[in-house]
Amino acid sequence: MHFTVYCLDHEGMVERRLSHYEAHKAYLATAPMKTVMSGPLLASDQQTMIGSFFLYEADDIADVVRFNSNDPFNAAGIWKSVDVRPFLKRVDNR
């Protein structure tokens, strides 16, 4: 099953986000599930990072929630909101 994780930052988190980026990246490399894709969400200027998006392949939503809750970005209080949802992939044109 696929799961999306949509995280929005608190206002003014660009510097904090950058200071925790290496720890975040290292943590993502330890994912117990397959990361299909991930990356920052951007503001309308297409440059300012305002959140994070992940698409995971996992057996259980609880595994995704647990992994995401221990992310260094979450621990640093960067994310204002985190939304984890099941996702039914119908088209994949990669």
Domain architecture of the chain: domains with CATH = 2-87 (3.30.70.1060)
Q: List, for residues 7-47, the tens digit of each pLDDT value.
A: 999 999 999 999 999 999 999 999 999 999 999 999 999 99
Write phi, then psi, for 92 (nearest 5 degrees).
-145, 100
Under 8 Å between Cβ of 38 and 52? yes
Q: Dihedrals φ, ψ of 27, to 5°?
A: -65, -45
What does pTM read for this prediction? 0.92
Q: How far apart are CA 55 and CA 37, in angstroms?
A: 5
